[in-house]
Amino acid sequence: MTLISSSIGRKVAMALSGIFLVVFLTQHFSINLLSIFSKSLFNQVSHFMGNNPIVQFILQPILILGVLFHFTMGFILELQNSKSRSSKYSSYKGRANATWMSRNMILSGIVILSFLALHFYDFWVPEMNYKYVEVLPLDANRYYEELVHKFENPIRVGIYVLSFIFLSLHLLHGFASSFQSVGVNNKYSKTIKKIATGFSIIVPIGFVFIALFHHLK
Amino acid sequence: MNLTLKVWRQANKSAKGKIETYQIKEISPDMSFLEMMDVLNEQLMLEQIDPIAFDHDCREGICGMCSMFINGEAHGPDRLVTTCQLHMRKFKDGDTITIEPFRAKAFPVIKDLTVDRSSFDRVQQAGGFVSVNTSGNTQDANAIPIDKHDADKAFDAATCIGCGACVATCKNASAMLFVSAKVSQYALLPQGKVEATDRVLNMVKQMDEEGFGNCTNTGACEVECPKGISLENIARMNREYLFASLKG
């Protein structure tokens, strides 16, 4: 109990849930990327992910718990941190010693959370409705068309692009920072930072590219 | 140099403070910041105004007493210096300088720019020491072989003067850099390893009880630290704490 109730315990938990979400993001990106190259392969993989019982009933609940934990803990930490300095500075030069990304994780996090709400409304809710409420017949070829249909609306694509800019900003601090939180700060840290920075830029750009590709096609 | 100073004035811990503006003339660029404050206080006393209370002691960057937040930064705009080592040549003639106390729930203001940093003392007392048997048979420390890299890192951590700039500058008012320096200083040495588990658990527990915020790895503390204490120490403390928690 000491571990989870302490400031370091919460920090480590935040980092581990963040790394878990980065792993999920990589998997999500890989599947989305397939839609650029092969309609049938994208449909096949999506069908597997949507109907495999291990993915559906074990991995999916773990993922939802991971997301819930990460943002709930983020809000709790933000609240605690704001209480630790009740009297604010009249002059505070935050940019002199820390990056914008590191100082505004709660802001980028809220944008990503808002996007997740839209994303769930767009894809997850209809999917759950299709499979478990209306119990419609299995159709292994519907996923690609559903994806393309969603990206027809320019407003949705615009929100998508904006959200992924904030995801990139969130990752630019959060990814490398999570290694520091779990105690990794050694000769490999510069390499980890470079890889994390590359990931934080390339993956969101990739998501944006996929959205624009289907919108403009 | 002629300057406009905006200084936080607060009569006591419970009083409501506010920023007061003072004009000061003919300040030498070679003066230290604290000498400039002395000149200001002389001027205020001649004007029958209560002089500004501020912390200071050694005035050579060793004691860690001076604690001002100058133009939005702990110990002012210079790097790797305390306020007493900051010189007026870092400012320009005609500048407006805002001077505030270090602000944190765990550092309550005593008066004007002086703050109560005894929370650091209590964290230190919770485990920042090595219990030494003083029976007269204590082993000579130099007789214990220590890896040069570890010795250097322990020494670097030990240069922390406990000034509180890390807390003051952190957007979360976190004390992790200070506590991690104290934990690392001992954790790296064989003499400190004996009590390592209790030390890190007790010091972190005390740190949390004092009301410091959580670390979000912004790195601001490392930049503003007058002694250049590295974030590597925080990672080490995290490791120490994780293993100590699992060990119990």
**Residue B45 shares a structural domain with residue B161:** no
B195/B212 same-domain check: yes
Residue where a domain terminates, one of B70, B95, B111: B111
The distance of Cα A178 from the centroid of its chain, to the nearest Å, equals: 14
Residues B79 and B182 in one domain: no
Cβ pair B212:A84 closer than 8 A? yes
Domain count, chain A: 1
B77 and B107, same domain (yes or no): yes
B197 shares contact with chain A (CB less than 8 Å) = no
**CATH code, domain carrying B100:** 3.10.20.30
**Whether the predicted pLDDT of A199 surpasses 90:** yes
Q: Token pair of A39, please?
A: 């309609």
Would you say residue A207 lies in a domain? yes
Residue B111, pLDDT score: 98
pLDDT at A14 (0 to 100): 96
Is-contact B216 B157, C-beta < 8 A? no
Are residues B134 and B243 both part of a single domain?
Answer: yes
Q: Are strands B3-9 and B18-24 parallel, antiparallel or unpaired?
A: antiparallel
Range of the domain at B51: 3-111
Query: What is the arithmetic mean of pLDDT over A102-124?
Result: 95
Average pLDDT, chain A: 94
CA angle B80, B113, A92 (to 5 degrees): 60
Domain that holds residue A145: 2-80+100-216
Instruction: Report how many Cβ contacts below 8 Å link chain A to chain B.
Output: 135
Does residue B196 sit in the same domain as residue B101?
no
Identity of the residue in B173, B174, B235 whose CB atom sits nearest the CB atom of A184: B235
In a domain, A94, yes or no: no
* CA dist., res. B176 & res. B194, Å (int): 22
Same domain, B97 and B207: no
For the CA atoms of chain A, what is the radius of gyration? 19
A90 inside domain: no
CA atoms within 13 A on the CB side of A92: 18
Task: Find, among A123, A146, A125, the residue nearest to A134 by Cα.
Answer: A125
Model confidence pLDDT, tens digit, residues B130-163 = 987 777 777 787 888 999 999 999 999 999 999 9
Alpha-carbon distance of B197 to A101, in angstroms, equals: 34
Chain A residues close to B213, C-beta within 8 Å: 80-81, 83-85
Q: Is residue A26 part of a domain?
A: yes
Average pLDDT over residues A81-104: 95
**pLDDT number for residue A1:** 53
Cα A138 from chain centroid (whole Å): 28
Chosen domain end from B54, B81, B111: B111
Instruction: Give the pLDDT band (50/70/90) at residue A2.
Output: low
Residues above pLDDT 70, as percent of chain A: 99
Domain shared by B83 and B159, yes or no: no
Residue B45 pLDDT: 98
Instruction: For chain B, positions 2-21, list CB contacts with chain A under 8 A.
Output: 6, 8, 19
- A-chain CB neighbours of B246 within 8 Å are 3
Q: Encode pLDDT of A32-69 as tens digits.
A: 999 999 999 999 999 999 999 999 999 999 999 999 99
Question: Cα separation of A197 and A162, whole Å?
Answer: 19
Contact A77 B214 (CB under 8 A): yes
CATH number at residue A51: 1.20.1300.10
Residue A118 lies in a domain: yes
Residue A58 falls inside a structural domain: yes
Q: B10 and B123 share a domain?
A: no
> In angstroms, what CA-CA distances link B105 with A83, B24, B55?
8, 32, 18
Higher pLDDT, B8 or B132: B8
Residues B158 and B178 in one domain: yes
What's the domain count of chain B?
2
Q: Cβ contact (<8 Å) for B216 and A81? A: yes
Query: B68-70 and B73-74 as β-strands: parallel, antiparallel, unpaired?
Result: antiparallel
**Whether residue B222 sits in one domain with residue B172:** yes
- Is residue B199 scored above 60 in pLDDT? yes
Q: Are residues B13 and B97 in the same domain?
A: yes
The CATH number of residue B184's host domain is 1.10.1060.10
For range B234-248, the mean pLDDT:
93
DSSP-based three-state secondary structure for A133? helix
Complex confidence, ipTM? 0.93
- B205 has a chain A CB within 8 A of its CB: yes
Average model confidence (pLDDT) across chain B: 96
- Does the residue A125 lie in any domain? yes
Give a yes or no: residue A12 inside a domain: yes
Give the residue from B58, B76, B111 where a domain finishes: B111
